[in-house]
Amino acid sequence: MEVYYVILALIAGACAPTQAGINSQLGSVAGDPSLAAMISFMVGAVGLTAYVLVTGVPWPSIRIFVDVPWWMWTGGLLGAILVFVSIVLAPKLGATATLGLIVAGQMMVSVILDHFGLVGYEEHRVNMWRILGVVLLLSGVILIKKH
């Protein structure tokens, strides 16, 4: 595994609890978690649009709307659910428990996606070590919540 990818993943990981806290505060100001999630996605869309325009990323053909399988359009909805749920849970559970549970959920589903090679992932069979990793992650969340 290249160090660059590890650093990039750690940076993305650092964004998650920060984003949850910021969006949670935005939810308090906006008056509703769904409004905060919508605002967050709008700002993200503007930022990504600016990036695409500045870097000259070529636009896809209009055929993308016909050629892409229906399930590939659900990624944005899943992202919205993740942001919305983190806005709701962060003030109630705190950053550590919220993100710990989210990561544990991600790991459980990741093991399944890898095992069956779903949604474009290469097949990586489930084994004792993968299951133990998920169990340890969940155990860590339980220990953190016990404080």
Residue-wise pLDDT tens digits, 4-29: 999 999 999 999 999 999 999 999 99
Give the list of residues 6+ apart from residue 102 with CB closer than 8 angstroms, or none: 16, 82, 85, 86
Report how many domains make up the chain. Answer: 1
> Domain of 107?
3-146
DSSP, res 120: G
Residue-wise pLDDT tens digits, 27-63: 999 999 999 999 999 999 999 999 999 999 999 999 9
The pTM of the full predicted model, rounded to 2 decimals, is: 0.85
Average pLDDT on 77-97 reads: 94
